[in-house]
Amino acid sequence: MKLKDLLELNITEFSEYPFLFFKNKTFTNIQIKDFADRFSHGLLNLGIKKGDRVMVCLPNCPEVIMAYQGITRAGAIIVPVMYMLHPKELHYIARNSGAKAVITSSFVLENVEKALEEIPSEPQVIVVDVPSNGTLKNFYDVMVEGNSTLLDQVMSDDTAVILYTSGTTGNPKGVLLTHKNLYSNAENSAKHNETERGTTLGVLPLAHVYGLTVSNISFLTGGSIAVFSHFDVKEVFKAIETHKVKSFSAVPAMIYAMVSYPQADQFDTSSLESVGSGSSPLPVALLYAFEKKFGAKVYEGYGLSEAAPVVSAHRKGFDIKPGSVGIPIPGVEVKIVNDAGVEVPLGEVGELIVCGDNVTPGYFQNLEETERVLKDGWLYTGDMARMDDDGYLYIVDRKRDLIIRGGFNLYPRDIEEILSGHEQVAEAAVVGIPDERMGEEMVACVVKKPGADLTEEELLRYCQDHLAKSKTPRRIVFLDTLPRNGVGKILKTHLRKTAADIVTQSF
């Protein structure tokens, strides 16, 4: 159960076939293995040893997958990083992880070089698209032939990846994920979803655990991936038509972009049967709109970095319950508990906790946070949820996003679902801001659809028609966009400050 085994087993079972499509290039599974083997020997020649950390800061491209397989074959640890991070964020991750090398591209090289300033034992920099010079090494120049028996030194419980969280509540934490965590989650996800062989779309960042798992599943199932350096809705439709894509994984922002794209009917999407949605809640209205427009199912699921990442998902051939994130995948056990850690009755809201081979052993050099979230073998997710009689999970909200107004608990997602159902609303996110009288007040941050002339008063009346008075937002603020991280998750920490500033200025 090691990451390098994914590619070995793929070749043994499926022989050579086109594994990766990127722009006008095609790479077979055997070509990927050849590059990965030679890159792993190159890392060893550079002094990279078992357990050393290697940052990969790249947009999606073939070299990401080659690097991941090469790093793990050298016995080193992958540190995937979103390429659009600020140099200060990159600096923190490089310093905290103790990275010995950074793999990047000319697109972000300037930021990477700034980030590595004032780091003791500055990491070696390997660039995929710049010639080697005195300080930089070209990715392909690093590759050398070598004896593969030197690389068979990794155990399934060894750390494979350190994945840094988005850091919305402070400095990012390095989530440790072992080979067993990632391998078992990919294997059980494939079983749960009955993943068929075919071409899928690599629109999710490979630097995010969700995107990484999609590529791992493709190795297991003999699938192919059409990789995109960034999400481009027109190119996505082209790829669906060209490769006869049956299914792929996305986030709600991507699903919304597809539904909203005015030229969607110019492409043949008849092959598309389903889309998996994760990373953040999918509004029910958006689910229905996608299914109506494309005749394809949307299977919403739930996961988090600390669970490598998939915890639950809808299954083909089983009921889809809009608003639910499906049932736990094989090998994953869940409970809903109260603040004392006692399981609550079905239907009641509590914190979701998770157990299984997919659960992280903890955070890198952070015992305090590890002990806070891992108790008696269970991962405390910080997500509030409930379970129905059929075992379907419903994520109510993040525990930290809970709004306590006048002593009453209010869950933003309830209000967001109502707002998203308005015909002139493109997106909505509800946050709590400090209030002297009520403790917290609700503010809805709304993005209008193009051409909409919706006013705050009209939308407040709409809320009053659909919600109890206690659940109606105090204010509506209209924004051009909602702030998101690299995988499309709304950054509510940023929104709280924005909403508070706007509301304060209006008085």
Mean pLDDT, range 265-284, rounded to an integer: 92
Whether the predicted pLDDT of 506 surpasses 70: no
Report pLDDT for 304: 92
Whether the predicted pLDDT of 265 surpasses 70: yes
Is residue 68 within 8 Å of residue 139, measured between CB atoms?
Answer: no
Fold adopted by 231-399: Rossmann fold (3.40.50)
Positions of E strands within 340-483: 350-356, 362-363, 374-375, 378-387, 393-398, 403-405, 408-410, 425-435, 439-448, 475-478
**How does residue 150 score in pLDDT terms, banded at 50, 70 and 90?**
low
Question: Which has the closest alpha carbon to 487: 85, 172, 36, 24?
Answer: 85
Residue 46 tokens, joined: 């550079």
**Separation CA 129–CA 132 (nearest Å):** 9
Contacts of 349 (CB under 8 A, 6+ apart): 336, 384, 385, 386, 396, 411
Question: Which has the closest alpha carbon to 279: 253, 241, 245?
Answer: 253
Report pLDDT for 148: 62
CATH class of 402-505: alpha beta
Whether the predicted pLDDT of 151 surpasses 70: no
Mean pLDDT, range 366-372, rounded to an integer: 95
Question: Which has the closest alpha carbon to 99: 65, 66, 52, 167?
Answer: 52
* Residue pointed to by tokens 């996608």: 290
Helices (H), 98-223: 109-115, 139-142, 179-193, 209-221
Q: Where are the domains of the chain?
A: 3-179, 231-399, 402-505
| Helix, strand, coil in percent for the chain, rounding step 5 | 35, 25, 40
**How does residue 438 score in pLDDT terms, banded at 50, 70 and 90?**
confident
Within a 10 A sphere around the Cβ of 101, how many other Cβ atoms?
A: 23
Report pLDDT for 316: 86
- Same CATH topology for 3-179 and 231-399: the answer is yes
**Separation CA 197–CA 491 (nearest Å):** 35
What digits encode the pLDDT tens for the residues 64-110? 999 999 999 999 999 999 998 889 989 999 999 999 999 999 999 99
Residue type, 487: V
pTM of the model: 0.88
Residue 316: helix, strand or coil by DSSP?
Answer: coil
Fold adopted by 3-179: Rossmann fold (3.40.50)
**Separation CA 184–CA 415 (nearest Å):** 36
